[in-house]
Amino acid sequence: MDFSDANSGKVSARKASAVRAFVCVGLVCLSALGLAGCIKVEVDESSAFRPKPPAISAATAADLKLNHEERLKGVEISHQFIPLEGIGRVAVTLVEHEDAQESRPLIVHCGGNASDRYRDGEYYAAKALPYGDVLLFDYPGYGDSDGEATGQSLHDAAALISDLSSGLAGDDRPLVLWGHSLGGFVCSQIVAMSPQVDAMIYETSARNAYEVAQAWKPWYLPFVQPAVNDGLGRFDNVDALAGFSGKVLVLGATDDRTLPVKLSNSLFGDLHEAGLDAAYHVFAANHSNVPDSEEFDDVMAPFFAGISSGP
């Protein structure tokens, strides 16, 4: 499953391929012995994580950058590689306001499946900068980071970013995790590992891979059931936040054709039922352009104000 089509509201070619795979399996099943029972189609890391080849491969930290980073005004941008055992290097970018304030939130942004720092970092930073400083990173196998994208490598990278962000935020700055699409699952892992996180934002995401697979299954193939392997099954946004005392905000999009809005509805409902301090807002938008909505700041500004002011 490709959890995100960065900067596009259209059904991706990979999603269409997944649907065709369901169709083909179903037709084979029907034609062979007329089976009436269900068949399982395994969903694993190879179908879930689909990084694009890097647009520019950075050999050193001095080569790291964001595409169009000059559009970000009034900020200081620093890039670095951080070593991760068993992976190699993880590319990280910190975008800070020039007028340093110790109380300003630090926002860790986790991007969607088809995105990386270079291609989408400027857009991701711009949407979050009105509310704090922004930390971006490439998942293993994505952008300028080494390694291969697997459930384990993303878990390991989340542990690395947990340590880094906790150190940067310290005791005085609110720490906020903001995950778009696939990034919601990665950010949840960071929350689960971090000693102190004040808020979690899910932007057009879902609860788990199984619900995504169910949402993508064609209605006319009821006998086909997705089976999510253990590598993906470990990612559950409600389970990861068990015991979390901070604020949670779920952002859905009515025209989301990648992760239908019913997945955001379900995620919010399950978070609320689990007793978390969760809020929900649905925008008239598609999977990737929620921040362009006219009422975006009307939702986000009060949310961040509540974090900064404390309980």
Residue-range domain boundaries for the chain: 52-207+234-309
19 pLDDT exceeds 90? no
Q: Categorize the per-residue pLDDT at 31 as very low, low, confident or very high, splitting at 50, 70 and 90.
A: very low
DSSP secondary structure code for residue 61 in this structure = G
Q: What are residue 218's phi and psi, to 5 degrees?
A: -60, 140
pLDDT in tens, 165-215: 999 999 889 999 999 999 999 999 999 999 889 999 999 999 987 888 777
Amino acid 48: pLDDT: 73
Percent of the chain predicted with pLDDT > 90? 67
The listed CATH number (1.10.3720.10, 3.40.50.1820, 3.40.50.1010, 3.30.450.20) that belongs to domain 52-207+234-309: 3.40.50.1820
Q: Categorize the per-residue pLDDT at 244 as very low, low, confident or very high, splitting at 50, 70 and 90.
A: very high
Query: Residue 117 is encoded by which pair of tokens?
Result: 């720092």
Q: What average pLDDT does the structure give for the chain?
A: 85
Angle between helices 13-31 and 209-216 (to 10 degrees): 70
- Rounded Cα distance between 111 and 184, Å, is 8
CA quadruple 169, 174, 175, 178: dihedral sign? negative
- Rounded Cα distance between 189 and 170, Å, is 19
End-to-end CA distance of the chain: 38
Q: What are residue 310's phi and psi, to 5 degrees?
A: 80, -175
9 pLDDT exceeds 60? no
* Residues, the chain: 311
- Rounded Cα distance between 180 and 199, Å, is 14
157: left (phi over 0), alpha (psi -120 to 50) or beta: alpha
100 pLDDT exceeds 60? yes
Percent of the chain predicted with pLDDT > 70? 78
pLDDT in tens, 62-80: 999 999 999 999 999 999 9
pLDDT in tens, 222-237: 666 666 666 676 789 9
